[in-house]
A and B are shown apart, each in its own frame.
Chain A
Amino acid sequence: MFRCFLPAILAALPLLPITPASADSMRCTSVNGNVNCAGSDAMSCQTVNGRRVCISGHGDVVQSFGPGSTYSDPGDDEGLDDEPPAATPKRTPGRSLFLQRDGARLHLRTDRLSIDRD
């Protein structure tokens, strides 16, 4: 059976695109199993239950939590949740946390605190 198809397969091989796979770089982050990736010059933002992570292909990373983000629900992720505890900062009602990595510089902002560190 295979011998019947072999000449056809060999004949079709030159028609297949043999261009090499693209070697563009891609940056990825994973928070509690949620994956967010950005290629060079691309921008990706992912919000999971109010926890927002944005990355760009240049390596900038922004994370924000709490009321300042697009969604805030104090009632989610309880019970027998599969997610491991506190891999990211806990949200506190009425408080917000903004964390940004800009190259080698780290910015941290809360309602009362503002820290920039190289």
Chain B
Amino acid sequence: MINLLNTFLNGITSGAIYSLMAISMVLVWRSTRVVNFAQAGMALLSCYFGYEAVQRTGSFWIGLVVAMIAGALVAAVIEFGFMRILLKHSSQGPIASVAPIIATLGLLGLIKGVIGLVWGNADVVIEPPFSVVGFKIGENTLTFSPLKLLTLVTVTVLLLIMTWLFQRTNLGLALRASAHEPEISRLAGVKVDLVRTLGWALAGAAGAAAGMLQAITGSGGMNPDSIEFRLLLVFGFIAAVIGGLDSMIGALVGGMILGLVLAFTLTYASGSLVFITAFVLLLVLLIVRPQGVIGQKAGRRA
């Protein structure tokens, strides 16, 4: 029983982080129709900025804010200085459909290399701001710790802010409009290009937050070759696709589903099966419900 509860709580904690990562993928997809495989790399890079801030100030919260700002700036610069040119440039020939994917792949490699060059390839440890000792229920100690509770709360707060931003502000309206009807939005006076850059910036901030939380809840370390990084890279994408790649709610649901499935695999099957389970889950979902658990549009053959 306690085992089940532990598994469930672990599932939603890691699920929350995957959701945040998935949301950053969704934001990029909605603003530019690019699946950004460099998102995890950008998140990792922001984490290193966050790490520097934590080292200097000793406060995780300042680190988180610095990481999110850095993430937003990095993403905006990449969108403005690179993706925009690329999407206009290579829209012809057999490469057109794969060029954005390949380009983000190149970015990923470049970011990893630069991180390695600047910070080295050893683990970088960010001290968790809260205790990692689990809560007690009677005799039993849960694996669910104040730190994990904090993770859930942080993700929830960020989600609330983002929902408010999207539903209640003019910026959110512009973001939604240019995602669905770029031409008409342009006619209505929305600066679509600027809004796209902003979409990337938001995504960068969300990814940075996911990275910081992953760094403190995981094994405690981050490096360009670490398993934490690969978790963000692969599971962010899978969670986004489970949710339909187009919907923020979908990304949230997708992250939770993925987190729970993987937590149960980890507890009741084997740790080495986690990645392959995620892969099978992804394939089954793409075949059974290609529009995602939330999405309504038919097919994604585009």
A and B interact: no
